[in-house]
Amino acid sequence: MSGISDTERMITLKTVEGTLFDVKSSIAKDLKTVQAFIDDSDDDVTSPIPLPNVFTRELSRILDYLNNHHRFRSGIEKADEEMARYDAEFAKSMSHEELKALILAANYLNVKDLLEFLNQTVADVIQNKSVEFVRNFFGIENDYTPEEEEKLRNENEWAFNGVEQD
Amino acid sequence: MLRHLIAHLHQLLHTSSTTSPTSPSSSFILQSSSLHNHPRWSFLDIDDNSVDDCCGLVMAAGKSGNLRMVEPLKHPSTKKPRRDQSRGKSSGRSSMTEVMEQQIWKDFPEDLIEAVIARLPIATFFRFRSVCWRWNSLLNSPSFSQHCAQVQHANPWFYIITQERANSGAMYDPSIKKWYHPTVSALPSKLILFPVASAGGLVCFLEIGQRNFFVCNPLTQSFKELPARSVKVWSPVAVGMTANGNLTGAGYKILWVTCDGEYEVYDSMRKSWSRPGNMPVGIKLPLALNFKSQSISIDSTIYFMHSDPEGIVSYDIATGVWKQYIIPAPLHLTDHTLAECDGRIMLVGLLTKNAATCVCIWELQKMTLLWKEVDRMPNEWCLDLYGKHIKMTCLGNKGLLMLSLRSKHMNRLVTYNIASREWLKVPGCVAPRGRKRQSIACGTAFHPCLTAVA
């Protein structure tokens, strides 16, 4: 931990597997759960903060995302395009299992922007699918009677135009 | 138990592949002898060379933590034949990934599912109400409402009334350039109602006789008829509306004002009209209010245009203070209306000089109280207006303008994005099961909000 300026403190985080991550305090602010822990502590936090629900793979991805976004935001104009491209690649690089694990980790750590982005990614996956697909996807049982379903479909008919049929 | 199963599989694979180690027999059935403890396990028929499938299923069972056997895939047509493996690894893995995906999201927390649903396109949300009763009743859920409040919609939608079917409306989503025609009209069909203002996802309607007000969320059929005004005034009114805050349920206020300076404010939390006082003496009455211009609201202040003298009057609903600004109008201006974008006060109107007509945009310079031209409709489009008697109606004045340009043989719709300065053509509004473009009588922009309640 050499070469740290006075203005940028480092926080150490420990994952389930015991891996230690040194994180700048400015980045740690985006991990609201961690920040709350720091704020609640009377003294300066020197020992590693344990994250019992977070695995190394997820924390590594989250810190990657935050570091990049901080970099984009602190630069000058063109950053929006670069950021969009980074986000697209980031989402594409994960399998569904990895995506879900990352959402749960981001939710636990309360990383607002990343969580919004990931939830939007899942919404994008299901948005053009049929109702039946969505039921299977989330493991939801259809608790409508056929008559109820028909009535509901008629009421919301205006929204069904141009979408794959059930 | 899982280890036994895997060992068993290996055993069966080895014994059945005496002729060729890489291609097991054509059908492969799990022996029931080892499964007598688990009556839920069913026989599974697996196709040629589908060892990977089998392992995938075992892996899926292992991953989900319990030994639940996955059902055969419901859509066999989507499962690619193994012979296509020459296409590369991805096609070979499609059936395995599908099987795994079916397990992954099944225990996704409800709260996060709501966050995902809140981020679906509006029309998709309505489709997915058919998924189950819970999803159908999300509109009444406070937690869902909070998720919706955090979603920023890039563009407002537009609610319009056509001249052909004056008692039902249509909605336009500029993000995907699509018109929607709700089958069940949100409003009582016997009345003719004009949209006059909107705030917080709700639209305020005024009945044709200018008697009663209605408030409605065009997306969800939630609507309310407001109590009668306490003042029996039948002169024309200009109307403005503000939302009390960002959260749905925070309420709204509606203001009407006449040329004689009479005005009243409706408070949705108190569910009543009140007369806060009189217009200040400094404002010369009667006011020549511009009834064709829609009002704008910025924070808690509503702005109306007037002529003679030309300018703007404003009313701050929070403080109850009226102010007047004398602002000379641009020359040769007709069909003009106020608009707003991020707190900037704008003016849009037709500029006609000799026979040339153009749509222009001005911004109010607050220091000098003068209109400064900031943009014009592209020249090629203006040429289409040359020499014609054009009538322009503004159908939405919040950030994204929708303008209807009509002459005897022309019926054009365009949108203008004030922030990005982009002009776009709008597809014609055609009634369902119809072919002809309809003429739009009037409209207003509104921010689509699933959980706003009238």
Q: What is the ipTM of this complex?
A: 0.89
Q: What is the pLDDT of residues A116-125, one digit of tens each?
A: 999 999 999 9
> Phi, psi at residue B180, to the nearest 5°?
-120, 140
Q: What is the pLDDT of residues B163-188, one digit of tens each?
A: 877 777 889 999 889 998 876 666 67
- Alpha carbon of B295: minimum distance to chain A alpha carbons (Å): 30
User: Hey, what are B174's tokens?
Assistant: 């500029």
More confident residue, B374 or B278: B374
| CB atoms B127 and A159 under 8 Å | yes
Q: Which helix (H) or strand (E) holds A11?
A: strand A10-14
Q: Tell me, what's the pLDDT at A78?
A: 64
Closest CA to B293 of B329, B252, B245, B319: B329
| CB atoms A156 and B126 under 8 Å | yes
Region of poorest pLDDT, from A76-90, B62-76, B429-443: B62-76
- Alpha carbon of A84: minimum distance to chain B alpha carbons (Å): 16
Q: What is the pLDDT of residues A8-30, one digit of tens each?
A: 788 899 999 999 999 998 899 99
- Alpha carbon of B129: minimum distance to chain A alpha carbons (Å): 8
Q: pLDDT averaged over chain B?
A: 79
Interface mutation target, options A95, A121, A136, A148, chain B, most CBs of B under 10 Å? A136
Please state, for a pLDDT cut of 90, what percent of chain A lies above it: 55
For the four alpha carbons of B379, B383, B386 and B391, in that order, the dihedral sign comes to: negative
Q: Tell me, what's the pLDDT at A98?
A: 92
Mean pLDDT, range A138-165, rounded to an integer: 80
- What is the rounded CA–CA span in Å between residue B14 and residue A101? 36
| CB atoms B105 and A135 under 8 Å | no
Q: Tell me, what's the pLDDT at B87?
A: 40
- What is the rounded CA–CA span in Å between residue A166 and residue B291? 48
Q: pLDDT averaged over chain A?
A: 86
Residues of chain A in contact with residue B101, where contact means CB-CB under 8 angstroms, are 96, 137
Q: Tell me, what's the pLDDT at A18?
A: 92
Locate tokens 């690649």: which residue?
Answer: A89
Closest CA to B450 of B247, B220, B246: B220
Residue B88: exposed, middle, or buried by beta-carbon count in 10 A (0-12, 13-18, 19+)? exposed
DSSP annotation of B329: P
> Phi, psi at residue A13, to the nearest 5°?
-115, 145
- Alpha carbon of B396: minimum distance to chain A alpha carbons (Å): 22
Residues of chain B in contact with residue A145, where contact means CB-CB under 8 angstroms, are none
Residues of chain B in contact with residue A138, where contact means CB-CB under 8 angstroms, are 105-106, 108, 113
For the four alpha carbons of B298, B301, B307 and B308, in that order, the dihedral sign comes to: negative
The HSE-up count of residue A152 (CA atoms within 13 Å, CB side) is 20
Confidence bin at B284 (pLDDT 50/70/90): confident
Residues A89, A93, A95: CA angle, nearest 5 degrees: 140
> Phi, psi at residue B68, to the nearest 5°?
-85, 125
Q: What is the pLDDT of residues B409-430, one digit of tens each?
A: 888 999 999 999 999 999 988 8
Question: In chain A, what is the straight-line distance between the N-terminal and C-terminal CA atoms, in Å?
Answer: 58
Answering whether pTM is above 0.90, one says no
Q: Tell me, what's the pLDDT at B39?
A: 41
- What is the rounded CA–CA span in Å between residue A27 and residue A68? 10
| CB atoms A122 and B116 under 8 Å | yes
Task: Give the pairing type, strands B178-180 and B193-199.
Answer: unpaired
Neighbours of B399 (CB within 10 A): 21
Q: Is A164 on the interface with B (CB under 8 A)?
A: no
Residues of chain B in contact with residue A153, where contact means CB-CB under 8 angstroms, are 130
Whether the pLDDT of residue B304 is over 70: the answer is yes
| CB atoms A135 and B133 under 8 Å | no
Query: Over the Cα atoms of chain B, what is R_g?
Result: 31
- Alpha carbon of B16: minimum distance to chain A alpha carbons (Å): 34
Q: Tell me, what's the pLDDT at B49?
A: 41
Whether the pLDDT of residue B229 is over 80: the answer is yes
Which CB contacts under 8 angstroms, 24+ apart, belong to B129-134? B129/A152, B129/A156, B130/A131, B130/A144, B130/A149, B130/A152, B130/A153, B130/A156, B131/A131, B131/A134, B131/A135, B131/A140, B131/A142, B132/A135, B132/A140, B132/A141, B132/A142, B132/A143, B132/A144, B133/A143, B133/A144, B134/A140
Residues of chain A in contact with residue B104, where contact means CB-CB under 8 angstroms, are 96-97, 100
- What is the rounded CA–CA span in Å between residue B276 and residue A16? 62
Interface mutation target, options A124, A128, A150, A155, chain B, most CBs of B under 10 Å? A155
